[in-house]
Structure 1
Amino acid sequence: MERSYTGTCFCGSVEVKVTGVPEGMGYCHCSSCRSWSAGPVNAFTLWKPKAVKVTKGADHLGTYTKNPSSERQFCKLCGGHVMTNHPGMGLVDVYAATIPDLKFEPGVHVNYAETVLHMKDGLPKLRDFPAELGGTGDMVAE
């Protein structure tokens, strides 16, 4: 049986369940993620859409789409950020902080060319995204 993890928005009104193993985990340094998360970097966990289910409070879930590549979802009651659907990639980013019982094991930094917080952790640093997800796949120095 596959392992499941449950997370919530800030107030707990929206609950999301992820099942299985994420497709990837890491850090995004793009200006949009930094602005949305109100932090210098965003920790992501990427899942296939079928592995993500809103189990409570779907009527409280709002969506903000700044561009077609990112449909950011949040709780309309508390404003807590929950996840971002990336239709072009076929993946959903359930923010690492939203699912605290999942052991966060980052494997990559994306959009590192935009970083404001240099992280010397030995992980690969990509200029933008991996080539298979529509980026250049170019590495940048740590």
Structure 2
Amino acid sequence: MEIEVTGAPDAMGYCHCSSCRSWSAGPVNAFTLWKPDSVKVTRGAEYVGHFQKTATSDRQFCKQCGGHLMTTHPTFGLTDVYAATIPTLAFAPGVHVNYAETVLRMKDGLPKMRDFPAELGGSGDTLPE
């Protein structure tokens, strides 16, 4: 399975929601958001499985190994390619989202959004570190 991304992501950061934590099997999920036409499965597309978790999240995984690949967010017009699946990407997070749900406090100076930015349908509220 190979995924290719082109250009630069629209955003990079950390999600703290319980759904992402469960999906990533960790206390926080590192995300990279791309326009859908910037993401392409270049090898193994026939092995991509889908799980429509919610109206805003179509999770994609490898049917051969079970590895998590990406999540399309049609209502946002973005695709989240998990940072760990792009080994050549210089991950430079800029924000924490859904920090109200965190189980791992992170003091890194980045903005901590209560939920999502207002432009993505969230409150736009930030929380203290």
Distance 1:95 1:55 in 2: 16
Give the equivalent residue in structure 1 for 2:114.
127
Distance 1:45 1:25 in 2: 4
SS in 1 for 2:26: coil
Question: Within 5 Å, which residues of 2 pair with 1:101-116?
Answer: 101-116=88-103
Q: Displacement of 1:66 after TM fit?
A: 1.3
Percent of paired sites with the same residue: 74
Distance 1:22 1:66 in 2: 23
Give the equivalent residue in structure 2 for 1:73.
60
* Structure 2 stretches lacking a partner, 5+ long: none
Give the equivalent residue in structure 2 for 1:51.
38
Q: Displacement of 1:26 after TM fit?
A: 0.1
Give the equivalent residue in structure 2 for 1:41.
28
Given the two structures, how large is their TM-score scaled by the length of structure 2?
A: 0.99
Q: Displacement of 1:65 after TM fit?
A: 1.1
Distance 1:16 1:71 in 2: 16
- The alignment covers a number of residue pairs equal to 129
Distance 2:46 2:2 in 1: 11
Residue 4 of structure 2 aligns with an amino acid whose one-letter code is: K
Instruction: Output the aligned Cα RMSD.
Output: 0.4
Matched, 1:84 2:71: yes
Q: Displacement of 1:100 after TM fit?
A: 1.2
- Runs of 4+, deviation exceeding 6 Å: none
Give the equivalent residue in structure 2 for 1:27.
14
* Structure 1 stretches lacking a partner, 5+ long: 1-13
Distance 2:53 2:110 in 1: 29
